[in-house]
């Protein structure tokens, strides 16, 4: 038979437990685990931070690509054009030189740098090399010449293309060209000066703009003209911005830069 003991009442001076002491024999209880909702929110916060970090890095890269790298490439293209002019000017007056106006576009090969283009509207010292061909490889080096179109000074349509953005942005300001503006093209022996006559915006497939007579496929050309093309709008490529010009004058390179190209742009 079990013995019965009276309940023990703790002394007022000896409390059942010290303030803050554990009530379970000295062991601290572990905090309750995070709820599923809390874990979900934490995961979303981590993902959001990663996305923001990646976005910031992407913006930094794009800024570098569109500004710093673009300026560096533009400087390289300007330097290449300047070297071409210097090398041509160093050729002896009576020695073998490039023909003033090659007889056919086949006289230059894809990848050849055969001319320098100068557009006062784009800047007082703006120069770019003109390369045969309009693939990415050529456009990344300067202004590309549409193979099969006329060469500088020839009867027909001397047609060129340039990047609107990136890789030097040769034609980033093409939409600023106005009727009456001039465009200079220098070969080894000759300066050709074209005057802008019109501009238009067309679909990428509207190749009639570079026909021998612009926008008149099949028509026989009777005069030297020039066409410049680039992507449009500025930050897109759904269309093409096109500028047409007609030959205004030509002069021997030995006479220096034509006055028309020295005039101040309004």
pLDDT, tens digit (0-9, with 9 covering 90-100), for 65-110 = 555 578 889 999 999 999 999 999 998 865 554 444 444 455 799 9
Statement: residue 4 has pLDDT above 50: no
Q: Which helix (H) or strand (E) holds 79?
A: helix 70-89
Is there a catalytic annotation at residue 163? yes
Cβ–Cβ < 8 Å for 128, 117 = yes
Statement: residue 1 has pLDDT above 80: no
Catalytic residue among 78, 145, 167, 231: 231
Closest CA to 116 of 140, 150, 141: 141
DSSP, res 260: H
Cβ–Cβ < 8 Å for 107, 152 = no
**pLDDT: is 133 or 32 the higher one?**
133
Pseudo-torsion of CA 223, 221, 164, 204, nearest 10°?
Answer: 160
What does pTM read for this prediction?
0.73
Is there a catalytic annotation at residue 244? no
Catalytic residue among 163, 167, 232, 244: 163
DSSP, res 106: G
CATH code for 68-92+109-262?
2.40.260.10
Statement: residue 258 has pLDDT above 70: yes
C-alpha to C-alpha distance for 144 and 132, rounded to whole angstroms: 6
Amino acid 58: pLDDT: 66
Domain residue ranges in the chain: 68-92+109-262
**pLDDT: is 131 or 23 the higher one?**
131
DSSP, res 184: E
- Rounded mean pLDDT of 235-254? 96
- Rounded mean pLDDT of 30-49? 71
């Amino acid at each position: 038979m079990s013995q019965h003991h009276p309940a023990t009442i703790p002394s007022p001076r000896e409390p059942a437990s010290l303030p803050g002491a554990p009530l379970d024999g000295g062991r601290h209880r572990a905090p309750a685990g995070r709820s599923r909702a809390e874990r979900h929110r934490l995961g979303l916060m981590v993902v959001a931070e990663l996305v923001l970090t990646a976005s910031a890095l992407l913006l930094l890269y794009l800024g570098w690509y569109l500004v710093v790298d673009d300026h560096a490439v533009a400087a390289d293209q300007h330097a290449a054009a300047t070297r071409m002019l210097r090398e041509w000017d160093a050729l002896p007056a009576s020695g073998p030189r490039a023909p003033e106006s090659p007889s056919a576009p086949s006289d230059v090969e894809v990848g050849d740098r055969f001319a320098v283009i100068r557009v006062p509207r784009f800047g007082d010292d703006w120069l770019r090399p003109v390369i045969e061909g309009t693939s990415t490889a050529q456009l990344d080096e300067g202004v590309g010449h549409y193979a099969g179109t006329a060469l500088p000074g020839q009867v027909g349509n001397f047609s060129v293309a340039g990047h609107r953005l990136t890789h030097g942005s040769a034609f980033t300001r093409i939409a600023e060209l106005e009727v009456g503006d001039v465009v200079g093209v220098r070969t080894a022996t000759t300066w050709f000066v074209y005057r802008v006559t019109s501009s238009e915006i067309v679909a990428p497939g509207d190749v009639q703009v570079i026909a021998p007579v612009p926008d008149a496929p099949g028509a026989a050309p009777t005069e030297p003209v020039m066409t410049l093309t680039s992507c449009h709008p500025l930050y897109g490529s759904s269309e093409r911005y096109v500028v047409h010009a007609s030959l205004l004058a030509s002069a021997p390179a030995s006479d220096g830069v034509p006055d028309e190209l020295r005039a101040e742009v309004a």
